[in-house]
Chain A
Amino acid sequence: MRLLVVHLFYAARSAIRGLWASPVTTGVALVTIAVSLVLVGAFGLLVTNMQGLLDRVGEDLRVTAYLEEGISDEDLKRLALLTQTVEGVASVETISKDDALRIFDERLGGRSGLLEGLEYNPLPASLEITLVESQRSVGGLRVVVESLDGLPGIEELSYGEEWVEGYARALSMIRGLGVGVACVLALATLLIVGNTIKLAVYARRDEIEILGLVGASRSFVRIPFLLEGFTQGTLAALMALGLLYILYRILTPSLAAGIELLMGHASPAFFSPFQMFLLVASGAFVGALGSAAAFVEGGRR
């Protein structure tokens, strides 16, 4: 235990010394990693907010089943009962042809005179179907719609599918793009950290040689460098997080119109504490991995 504490103390001191020893290299690496993480984080924010919107839309999702013309009241009640038994359906509200006309009339308000010339009621009877909470997603909606489709008496099912599916496709595309960008930037970060550590190893080759001569173990030599990469990654991620927050605060009001078009009245949100932790942890992990890679590559020579 004491040995571990002494070694950790040495490793921490050596890592700090290493970071201070070449402030320009350290600074450039920090800024470059931070910029990469800002880009990854920006994509993350976009995807998170779009996903949030889709989730909120999902909560309001309902299916309207328009019924065949001339369906009797008895068949309507039977169909409503049958629909109620479909898995994923929470409640079914029956709207007769008369109810539909009345609702339409109410919606027209002052222009209700438009309906005066109608010789017959053109509106179909319908069932307003709400979903159980677990089904309130695009996928869940599709399952329920497939179960309802083909039930006798149902003419057409409407659930705003075009908008929902289009939005889900856009989200999936942005998420895919985000993952691609994150992978490329993670690789770039690995290379940056790896090269910074390689420079540090080169600058301290005398120290490494002497440590080896006096009996330092491989881990004793390497842990300070791993710690250096880890620290660089963590600091860069914190910088990126700060920068993202500043950008979020500055850009949100000036892009209000665009955001409203994209998200409706929902206001954009910043990362949750857990997501922030994930971003910082990713930076730290990539930093440590970059320095480990520098040693693996160095070890092969």
Chain B
Amino acid sequence: MRREPPVTDPFVRMYHVSKSYMAGTFALHDVSLEVDRGEFVFLTGPSGAGKTTLLKLLFAAERPSEGQIILRGRNITRLREYGIPALRRRIGVVFQDFKLLGHRSVEENVGMALEVRGTPPREIRSRVFRVLKQVGLQHRRYHRAEALSGGEQQRVALARALVNDPELLLADEPTGNLDPELTLEIMDLIASAGARGTTVVVATHDLSLIDRYAKRTLHLEAGCVKRDAGAAAISA
């Protein structure tokens, strides 16, 4: 039986991680960082800085070219192909383009995350209802996803990411397609997940969000962490 890591250990550790898609060029270069359990971190930087690559490494959509990534005490760089699904069931991911199935109902879209775990249909229905209530969409659970507005679709994507009570929530430009009002709505929901103890990493261009939420911010440039500003530094 695997021993759970002590809760005081950092939840995410990256040691000298590099990712190269082409010889000689790096999407990420020698990145080392730690994220504590329950911490909320913004990743920021210009396009091509490596924000998305870093998130992809965390949910094992990509493998690092060099370095090690320890997630809740487990080295995920050594994870075999068949171990990835179990890792992803502990992680919720939200994307800029929502990644919903438009012709399926809201309930079905959110329920997918539970179906893959073999959750019985009745339990799926009740848990989906609960999480949709959290994001304020319980009344639209039988509607097709494509019939919803952009903000609503992102709330559905967020509900799908949260329905498993993930330990880690990753969001890649979650508000990139939304207007300012909806942006705050979505960010508030993400922040409240963080407040409930979920470790959250949000990649964003939007500096106003960083100012507003005053959380630790990692500034990436050309694949390197140029600045790691703590929450206190941001609010100051």
Contact = CB atoms under 8 A, between A and B. Distances in A.
B120 A2 contact: yes
Contacts of B89: 214-215
Interface residues of A, number: 19
Interface in A1-27: 2-3, 6-7, 9-10
B82 A213 contact: no
Contact of A10 (B81, B86, B113, B115): B115
Contacts, number: 53
B119 A214 contact: no
B85 A216 contact: yes
Interface of A: 2-3, 6-7, 9-10, 206-207, 209-218, 220
Contact of B116 (A2, A9, A206, A215): A215
B72 to A, nearest CB: 15
Contacts of B59: 213
A213 B113 CA distance: 9
Given A10-B115, A206-B101, A209-B99, A214 B120 contact: no
Question: Which one of A6, A213, A214 has the greatest number of beta carbons of chain B within 10 Å?
Answer: A214
Interface of A is mostly: helix
Contacts of A209: 99
Nearest to B161: A214
B113 to A, nearest CB: 4
5 nearest A-B residue pairs (beta carbon): A215-B89, A215-B88, A3-B118, A216-B116, A214-B113
Interface residues of B, number: 24
Nearest to B160: A214
Given A2-B120, A211-B116, A217 B160 contact: no
Nearest to B113: A214
Contacts of B61: 213
B112 interface: yes
A217 B85 contact: yes
Contacts of B121: 6, 9
19 contacts: A2-B120, A6-B120, A7-B118, A9-B121, A206-B99, A206-B101, A210-B100, A212-B85, A214-B88, A214-B89, A214-B112, A214-B164, A215-B86, A215-B87, A215-B88, A215-B113, A216-B116, A217-B85, A217-B116
B101 A210 contact: yes
